[in-house]
Amino acid sequence: MTIMTEVVRSRLNLRDKALLKAEAYVGGRWTMGDTSGRSTVVDPSDGRIVAEVPSLTLAEIQRCIDQAYALQRSWGASLVKTRSAILRKWYELVLENADDLAAILCMEQGKPLSEAKAEVVANAGFLDWYAEEAKRINGDVIPGARADQRILVMKQPVGVCAAITPWNFPNGMVTRKVGAALAAGCTVILKPAPQTPLSALALAVLAERAGVPAGVFSVVTGDAPMIGAEICKNPKIAKISFTGSTAVGRWLMREAADSIKRLSFELGGNAAFIVFDDADLDSAVEGAIASKFRNAGQTCVCANRIYVQSGIAGEFTKRFLDRVAGIRLGPGSDPATTQGPLIDHRAVEKVEAHIADAVGKGASVACGGKRSALGGTFFEPTVITGVKPGMRVLKEETFAPLAPLISFDREEDVIAMANDTEYGLVGFFYSRDLSRVWRVAEALETGMVGVNTGLIANEMAPFGGIKQSGFGREGSTRGLDDFLNLKYLSLNGI
Ligand code: NAP
């Protein structure tokens, strides 16, 4: 039986109450698991418990993997038109239920309702995209090396995939991974973040309605190290698609080494956001606000360091501070809110530590800098100036509404500073000089570059990082490749 507290029932006025599930979805069955182990889901806007989800046992996880493995051959051999039609139906159902999905997301994650709805709708696009791409899993015919040889290359599903997702985009991270895996013909076991399992489970309700066969897609909840260890060592799992921190990515890579699994990792970021003297200043300010403060600064592609060329630093700072002053803190469910709470107290402690470190080394707080009077995990949007090398804000991902402003003089200096990080997810810059646009875009050591924009993700683009931000791509025509094996056929005697 689903365990939802009265808080949820009174708070969420869902059109379709069946979307609110707090059971795991295993082998096509909704289950509270074999034991009484539970983990709680909390509304970060007030700290109240909204649901309890089961902590599945190792035996249940193994059974789930066995079921997915048993179905792999038939799902992999299903007609691409069948898979495409199911994904298209899932896409339509997500759009039809976008308001309910957004309300669930907003409650468990805390982001403003408008952002939650935008996440749901934009990322439904991945289901639509992969519904189309499923039809184009084409191979190659290549001239042979000898007169009697022809070379054929076919693409086949890699096998059972495990997907592990973080809490910051509880809906979007699911559609982009599961959509691609199902399109490729892989069965999937998803482990959502414990803070935000309800969005993933609501998506599973809709996947079931769309016709995803029982056991082809499961959602498991429970102890992450136990599930992670099993996924890494179980030979029936062929691939792990992980989005989360670099630290956990390293651990998974080590654990998966013995069975040489296919991996794709979307890990942490430390994005530099650079504004050159020749930039359109209004547009740069808007881009910086969107990039820095979306989801209260809790996105992997957030501007973590904002570099402004000295000629415009004063004016940029003034306009940026004006815009930050307009950010309205509050619970995500309030339509006036533009910044919700942070996910938990650990996140609050981290941003406080980054501010204290910077101030201790000579930076100044231009606005914010402390917990909000709203209490809980609300944190004031913060800008610090006078940021210098050696401060933690430049090295570590803050993942909070903290904008460090750094002034620079020369293009080559800012490129060196931007690249001085182990991360390589994304870099942003604003410039109207075409030569500079090419130079800087080529010089940034990142998997993605946003030029004259602060937002870059959509299903048509290959999202992904380099360096310690991971490898593999999500979205675009390349998004399926990570879920497919190539098979080369040498045809001879022709
Ligand atoms: P996290 O702590 O790495 O957790 C991510 C997921 O991994 C959660 O479901 C977590 O579950 C699980 N996990 C942790 N240890 C595990 C283990 N030993 N085995 C299996 N699963 C394990 O990251 P987070 O705090 O949720 O998310 C924030 C991070 O994600 C940031 O670094 C951000 O940059 C990154 N991120 C990257 C992208 C991208 O596309 N590059 C997108 C979004 C977020 P538990 O919480 O139960 O441990």
Q: Where are the beta strands (DSSP E) in 85-244?
A: 140-143, 150-157, 160-164, 188-191, 217-219, 237-243
pTM of structure:
0.97
The confidence score (pLDDT) of residue 105 equals 98
Cβ atoms of 367 and 325 closer than 8 Å: yes
Run means of pLDDT, 10 residues per run, the chain, 494 residues = 64 92 97 94 96 97 98 98 98 98 98 98 98 97 96 98 98 98 98 98 98 98 98 98 98 97 98 98 98 98 98 98 98 98 98 98 98 98 97 98 98 98 98 98 98 97 98 97 98 96
Pocket flag, ligand 1, residue 268 (CB < 6 Å): yes
Residue 80: its H or E element? helix 80-96
Pocket flag, ligand 1, residue 266 (CB < 6 Å): yes
Question: CB neighbours of 436 closer than 8 A, spacing ≥ 6?
Answer: 276, 278, 411
C-alpha 361/C-alpha 384 separation (Å) is 12
Task: Report which ligand 1 atom has the smallest distance to the Cα of 425.
Answer: 41
As given in the structure block, the two tokens for residue 428 are 């942003």
Known catalytic membership, residue 186? no
The confidence score (pLDDT) of residue 386 equals 96
* Catalytic option among 266, 380, 397, 459: 266
Q: 428 CA distance to ligand 1 centroid (A)? A: 24
Amino acid letter at 29?
R
Question: CB neighbours of 192 closer than 8 A, spacing ≥ 6?
Answer: 165, 170, 174, 199, 200, 201, 219, 221
- CA-CA distances (angstroms) from residue 452 to 382, 383, 442? 23, 21, 15
The confidence score (pLDDT) of residue 5 equals 63
Closest CA to 41 of 17, 14, 1, 8: 8
Pocket flag, ligand 1, residue 343 (CB < 6 Å): no
Pocket flag, ligand 1, residue 123 (CB < 6 Å): no
- CA-CA distances (angstroms) from residue 171 to 97, 198, 241, 422, 429? 13, 9, 15, 28, 28
